[in-house]
Amino acid sequence: MLIIRNGFLIDPGSEVSGVKDIVIDNGKITTIADPGSDHVADLLNDGRNEVIDASGLIVTAGLVDAHVHFRDPGATYKEDIYTGAEAAKRGGFTTVVMMGNTNPHMDNVDTLKYVLDKGKETGINVYTCGNVTKDMEGKELTDMSKLIEAGAVLFTDDGKPITDAKLMERACEKACKYDKVISLHEEDPAYISDNGINAGVVAKKLGIKGSPRDAEIVMVKRDIEIAERTGAKITVQHISAAESVELIREAKKRGVLVYAEATPHHFTLTEEAVLEHGTLAKMNPPLRLESDRQAIIQGLKDGTIETIATDHAPHSKEEKERQITAAPSGITGLETSLSLGIREIVDKGYMSLLGLLKKMTINPAKIYGLDAGEVKEGGRGDLVIFSKDEMWTFDKSVSKATNTPFLGETLPGKIYYTICGGEIVYKA
């Protein structure tokens, strides 16, 4: 048994908070009690139980990230499922959903089985998507029902948009039938000369054309229409432009089942970061303007954007040392997500800590139907214990990769313990 004493519990599920003792037995939470209860006193007297003193710390549900790239199979020199999971644990995550731009892709049962089996060895809950199209080529739909049977929790061709509108419509009809969400990387390649950098003043300074906001906006517009017509549930991943936020806000008012996801980098940085960090600030879709960053924060605040996802995208040092147009897009994010949320969203007064935590726990869990994201008796013993205000320095990563502009920064939100299924999987 594991007993967590005197922590300040924030349950994103019930929105109840207060100082509590929590007992986990056999992977499940068996007791949530006010401090000083007889039951917990008895358990404490039994010297065999493991005890964590969480006085002065916050205890909440293990974090959920519905958008990670663990590069396994296919590019394990960047990351593998084990090292990706280590980064997740260090960041307080106990549940992740892998994206499917692996090699082979997540378009077949064997690859899903490989990923899920390996995920079971990590100590956290590793889920996977299934691809929408075979080989992510945007030409032929995968067998969704088979992939669901194999464990796919959502569908996506993340990394690529589904450019064929008719195919997208058919994908939506199928996803409807199986009640699964299609998660969309919204960037029309026809608009993009150089991906990963916003088409604006910074791109101009670098002598490149970059990726214009319209590349995202046209796809968001189209897919909202298709979702509206078909009744499908879609998620706009890693939203980057103010207009996209507004389109989703309006669509929600009409009852369209469109969800949205923001990354920590899109609510923290702007295109200016490229001048300071070079390829470490190159990602798809790119960092844009301060007005976009503010629109994303407003979207988080008013509920237009339900979830925060890292889009943890490891690359090797060699790859990121290439020229700006040749280096791959993407940055890692699992280890700094909670800290950046605290610094940029909570400490700047945009949202409460509970509000932030909901976007990193119960909201993605509900949208994708995952057993995660809340702290309740009988529920999973998945928790993170952290100090909101204590500073820590991100001096080295436990991921295989170090492609993040935040390396070296001192941030609030020091994580003390990550607990999954009642086991301590990370300890500061």
Q: Which of 311, 347, 371, 389 is catalytic?
A: 311
Strands (E) in 157-306, as ranges, are 181-184, 233-236, 258-262
The one segment of 5-13, 33-41, 179-187, 347-355 that binds Zn ion by CB under 5 A: 179-187
Q: How far is the CB of 185 from Zn ion (least distance, A)?
A: 4
158 binds Zn ion (CB under 5 A): yes
Residue whose CB is less far from Zn ion, 185 or 388: 185
Residue whose CB is less far from Zn ion, 102 or 418: 102
What's phi and psi for 342, nearest 5 deg?
-65, -45
Per rule CB under 5 A, count of chain residues that contact Zn ion: 2
Nearest to 420 by CA among 377, 385, 369, 368: 385
Distance CA 32, CA 23 (A): 7
Residues between 288 and 317 that touch Zn ion (CB under 5 A):
none
Helix (H) or strand (E) holding 201: helix 201-206
Q: How far is the CB of 22 from Zn ion (least distance, A)?
A: 36
Residue whose CB is less far from Zn ion, 78 or 185: 185
SS3 label, residue 139:
coil
Distance CA 151, CA 276 (A): 41
Nearest to 297 by CA among 363, 368, 361, 347: 347
The rounded Cα 273 to chain-centroid distance in angstroms is 21
Residue whose CB is less far from Zn ion, 187 or 382: 187
Residue whose CB is less far from Zn ion, 158 or 344: 158
Distance CA 183, CA 76 (A): 24
185 binds Zn ion (CB under 5 A): yes
Residue nearest to Zn ion (CB): 185
Q: How far is the CB of 273 from Zn ion (least distance, A)?
A: 18
Cis before 104? omega within 30: yes
Distance CA 388, CA 414 (A): 7
Written as one letter, the residue type at 154 is L
Q: Which residue has the tokens 């959502």?
A: 154
The one segment of 156-164, 242-250, 263-271, 413-421 that binds Zn ion by CB under 5 A: 156-164
Check residue 284 and report its DSSP letter: S
DSSP structure string for 114-127: HHHHHHHTSSSEEE
Residue whose CB is less far from Zn ion, 185 or 380: 185
265 binds Zn ion (CB under 5 A): no
Distance CA 425, CA 428 (A): 10
Distance CA 13, CA 245 (A): 25
Q: How far is the CB of 122 from Zn ion (least distance, A)?
A: 23
Residues between 92 and 111 that touch Zn ion (CB under 5 A):
none
65 binds Zn ion (CB under 5 A): no
The one segment of 154-162, 211-219, 322-330, 366-374 that binds Zn ion by CB under 5 A: 154-162
Q: How far is the CB of 184 from Zn ion (least distance, A)?
A: 9
The one segment of 128-136, 183-191, 328-336, 381-389 that binds Zn ion by CB under 5 A: 183-191
Read off the tokens for 405: 């502009």
User: Is 311 marked active-site?
Assistant: yes
Q: How far is the CB of 177 from Zn ion (least distance, A)?
A: 25
The one segment of 39-47, 124-132, 150-158, 395-403 that binds Zn ion by CB under 5 A: 150-158
Residue whose CB is less far from Zn ion, 158 or 223: 158
Residues between 340 and 399 that touch Zn ion (CB under 5 A):
none
Q: How far is the CB of 374 from Zn ion (least distance, A)?
A: 27
The CA-atom distances, in angstroms, between 121 and each of 100, 126, 272, 392, 425 are: 19, 9, 40, 29, 12
Which positions lie near Zn ion, rule CB under 5 A?
158, 185
| Active-site annotation, residues | 311
